[in-house]
Amino acid sequence: MGWTQVLLAGLWGGVVAVERKAFLQAMLSRPLVSATVMGALLGDLRAGLYVGMLLELFYLGTANLGAALPENDTVSATGTAAAAATMAAATGAGSTQALWSVAVLLFIALGRLGRYGDRLLEGYMARLARVALASAEAGNLSRAVRQNLWGMWPHFLVYGGVSATCALLGFFLGPLLERLPLDLLRGLAWAFPAMASVAAALAAQGSHARRAPLYASLGATVVTLAVILVMLQERR
């Protein structure tokens, strides 16, 4: 078991969680970026890139607008990519589409759990913001800065811990997947381009363009063909 990988997963998951809510906000927390970097840190760039592309398309199509609190796409991406990378490391057989499918199916729900966590943390941050504002009005700027810094730490610890846990679970899940029947593994492998096509369709449909259904169909077809071609190329 690679404890270094678990630690790296936790650190990167915490950093992008803070970047998403309170610091910089340079799009590092987007699923494509956060998952790709997670994969690279854990020694499996391909898993991070492919998982990140799928989740980027999925959350583009399910974005919530206005005052609604969206699903936490960042923790979903970092957790899923971390699990996919460590599952591959645990099997020793390299990264496969079947592993990516399993990771997505098991950990994509982290987005909804993350939304619940965000709702809880927002109350804590709102209290700190009121204290910081009162401190600033009283001329105590150093205390106001400290309150803002304290507001970042819960996101780092909570979501960094979630990513680290996903990486740890991957080491246990990897050997279990090796025991699955070959036909089931093949089905899981082909499930990945199917999920990618659905995600592409959702992204196009979510654009609310006049010809969104057409764009959705074309996007799903293109993504499916692209993934299939890549899979066939890698098998040669």
In sequence order, the 6+-apart residues with CB closer than 8 A to the CB of 181 are: none
Alpha helices in 42-140 (DSSP H): 45-61, 73-91, 97-107, 110-137
Distance CA(85)–CA(107), nearest Å, equals 13
Q: Which has more confidence, 26 or 79?
A: 79
Q: Which has more confidence, 136 or 11?
A: 11
pTM: 0.80
Four-residue CA torsion sign, 38, 41, 42, 48: positive
pLDDT grade, residue 218 (50/70/90)?
A: low
Residue type present at position 189:
A
Take residue 150 and report the two structure tokens written for it. Answer: 């304290």
List, for residues 177-186, the tens digit of each pLDDT value: 888 888 888 8
pLDDT grade, residue 197 (50/70/90)?
A: confident
Take residue 41 and report the two structure tokens written for it. Answer: 């840190």
Provide the mean pLDDT of the chain. Answer: 81
Whether the predicted pLDDT of 92 surpasses 70 = yes
Least confident residue range of 159-168, 197-206, 219-228: 219-228
Take residue 40 and report the two structure tokens written for it. Answer: 């690279």
Mean pLDDT, range 51-77, rounded to an integer: 80
Whether the predicted pLDDT of 125 surpasses 60 = yes
pLDDT of 70? 81
Question: Which domain range does residue 67 map to?
Answer: 3-235
pLDDT of 52? 94
HSE-CB at 135 with a 13 A cutoff on CA atoms is 15
Q: What is the number of domains present in the chain?
A: 1
